[in-house]
Structure 1
Amino acid sequence: MTAVQGTTVDLPTEDGTVDAYLAHPADGEPHPAVLLYMDAFGLRPRLTEMADRLAEAGYTVLVPNVFYRHGRAPVVELPEFIDPGARPEIFENIMPIMRALTPERAMRDAGAYLRWLADCPVAADGPVALTGYCMGARLSLLTAGTYPDRVAAAGGFHGGRLATQTPDSPHLVAGHITAELYFGHADQDPSLPVEQIERLETALTEAGVRHHCEVYPGAGHGFTQADTSAYNAEADERHWAALLDLLKRTF
């Protein structure tokens, strides 16, 4: 097993300073870079564990606290095991912060993350890969369309609101994407109903984007997050297989 080094780093954006977690093989050599977009619960031990697992597979992984405008992580106090059904105040606290992260702000930040990785000595030269979870899947899709020259592959898992009828829906960037995409949808996910799955598939196909979208049966929104009540171990392992396969094809 590859030894991994993980550290907290700060990086500048146009709007402030982002705290982030950086994980990479401990050999000091540059490795292909992966930008990991958090879910709404934010940068926490579960996400650093996921970053470490990718680093063990040979990648340099950056996990930014995309809510940095509201403070360093943890921005919202969380229990060790997250069950929003039992603790509705968790989402009550998170939702205003999520709404404040407009697509314009998020993509301005994405440029800063990508520039930082381009200068990072343990990140290999060239385009990066993305993976995102819940709201992070939306950010992954938007980043692939906003910075096509910097993104070689993008994954998204249990993403919500990927193809709405609003003018800022993420699927509308499909025509700009040059990366290969993979999406693992949860079939028990009210934030991504069948009509949005079909709308996303149509947009990617019509734009000629290399992509593969799958619906994971029996999986709910958040199925990769082992510290939450939504966790589904079988779907999570399927996600890891798909993500690592995408990265192997990319790099």
Structure 2
Amino acid sequence: MPRADVTVPTEDGVCAATLHTPSDPGSRPAVILYPDAAGVRETFAAMADRLAGLGYTVLLPDVYYRTGGYAPFDIPSVFNDAAERERLMSLMASLTGDAIVRDAQAFLTFLADRPEVSGSRVGTTGYCMGGRISLIVAGHHPERVAAAASFHGGQLAATDDPDSPHLLADRISASVHVAAAENDEHFPVEQHERLEHAFTAAGVQHTIETYPAAHGFAVPDNPTYDEAADERHWAALTALYAESLPA
């Protein structure tokens, strides 16, 4: 799939990103793909290519652009190296709820002006940290987000997080798909139940399910990658967008 390096002006600077489009020219509905905590890398570019192949124009932003650049992580070992884990946690902490919302507005404005994009409604999807971001964006931009997905997302209904997605349930107009990992400390049973209750009470069209796989199951360079769960994730994402964001 064609890829183009682009820059998105934001309130805080300039965000580098890649724009992924189908092979045949034309305008398509847009999707914002949010990466996991280790940030953008070739694995996510390939995932954006695959998503573009389904008939979407996909924006893959460097969510850590405010740092001015950072060395890539060695994914298999990052959580076993204390210094690297600390570096990763520091990057994650820099991405506040307010920053997420500001950036999303910039991304949406950018997409609205692109000839490769059709319509005003978009999809969001995210992985691990990006799954939480995907739902936060749906809550803060309900007029623009038609479909939102979270795969092995963490902290989706934490009581000590003022930016938790479950607190935005009554503002979400998107159809939502949440696929959790099995025995995931980042999304324990009580959060699953809290998110389910919040979405149901708010009348959000949603699905929350647990895959028999570990956290990180859908990202091919993760050591916990699970091919069967990954294909299940693609089938779910395809169905969600086909219904709520038809290409």
Q: Deviations over 1:213-248 (max 9, x none)?
A: 10011x111111111212111111110000011011
Instruction: Report the alpha carbon displacement of residue 57 of structure 1 after superposing the two structures with TM.
Output: 1.2
CA contact (8 A) 2:27 2:117 kept: yes
Name the counterpart of 2:92.
98
Aligned partner (choices 83, 107, 110) of residue 113 of structure 1 = 107
Which sections of structure 2, spanning at least 5 residues, go unmatched?
Answer: none
Name the counterpart of 1:18.
15
Identical pairs, percent: 48
> 2 CA distance for matches of 1:76 and 1:153?
33
Name the counterpart of 1:49.
46
Name the counterpart of 1:83.
77
TM-score (norm 2): 0.95
Distance of aligned partners of 1:177 and 1:111 in 2 relative to their CA distance in 1, 3 Å threshold: same
Which sections of structure 1, spanning at least 5 residues, go unmatched?
Answer: none
State the Cα RMSD in Å. 1.2
Runs of 4+ in 1 over 6 A off after TM superposition: none
Letter in 2 for 1:196: Q
CA contact (8 A) 2:23 2:53 kept: no
CA contact (8 A) 1:152 1:180 kept: yes
CA contact (8 A) 2:79 2:85 kept: no
- Secondary structure at 2:77 match in 1: coil
Distance of aligned partners of 1:97 and 1:86 in 2 relative to their CA distance in 1, 3 Å threshold: closer
Name the counterpart of 1:35.
32
- Secondary structure at 1:95 match in 2: helix
Aligned partner (choices 197, 202, 226) of residue 192 of structure 2 = 197
Instruction: Report the alpha carbon displacement of residue 30 of structure 1 after superposing the two structures with TM.
Output: 0.5
Equivalent pairs counted in the alignment come to 244
- Secondary structure at 2:120 match in 1: coil
> 2 CA distance for matches of 1:76 and 1:168?
28
Instruction: Report the alpha carbon displacement of residue 90 of structure 1 after superposing the two structures with TM.
Output: 2.9
TM-score (norm 1): 0.94
Name the counterpart of 2:67.
70
Name the counterpart of 2:169.
174
- Secondary structure at 2:182 match in 1: strand
1:142 pairs with 2:139 = no
Q: Deviations over 1:124-156 (max 9, x none)?
A: 122000101001111111110100000000000
Aligned partner (choices 188, 204, 207) of residue 202 of structure 2 = 207
- Secondary structure at 1:32 match in 2: strand
Instruction: Report the alpha carbon displacement of residue 168 of structure 1 after superposing the two structures with TM.
Output: 2.4
Instruction: Report the alpha carbon displacement of residue 105 of structure 1 after superposing the two structures with TM.
Output: 0.9
Name the counterpart of 1:126.
120
- Secondary structure at 1:188 match in 2: coil
